[in-house]
Amino acid sequence: MALRANKAALNYDIIIVGGGPVGLSLAAGLVHYLGEFKIALCDRGKMAVPDDAPSLALAAGVTRVYEVLGLWDEMVTEAAPIAHMRITDSGKNDRARPLFLSFDGEVAPGRPFAHMV
């Protein structure tokens, strides 16, 4: 079935292709700061939260962006602070487990370096 619309309905100031976390965040930021613009968000997938919604690890800088946009207060109710993270390129039972990157503690008092949402 072909999509048909008149030209006026397809007139946008900004079109964002991709409705994942980055596209949705960009759309929220643009609406927050440029609310008078007509913005379209397009994705080839269904625009709905799946039943098995995946988790995201958000660094402190990203949570700060969501605070500025007024979104973090709702998001934090579904978030868990990450106190420690060890990043390796090995399996849990491998004999050698080289550590590539690790995080511990907070970026500021009372502010964890990341959250799992």
Work out the average pLDDT over 22-40. Answer: 90
β pairing state of 14-17 and 39-42 = parallel
Q: How far apart are the first and last CA of the chain?
A: 37
The share of the chain scoring above pLDDT 70, in percent, equals 89
Work out the average pLDDT over 3-32. Answer: 82
Buried b (16+ CB within 10 A) or exposed e, 33-57: eeeeeeeebeeeeeeeeeeeeeeee
Tens-digit pLDDT profile for residues 41-98: 999 887 776 677 678 889 999 999 999 999 999 999 989 999 888 888 887 788 888 8
pTM: 0.70
Q: Is 106 helix (H, G, I), strand (E, B) or coil?
A: strand
Question: ∠ CA 69-72-85 to the nearest 5 degrees?
Answer: 125
For the chain, state the CA radius of gyration. Answer: 19
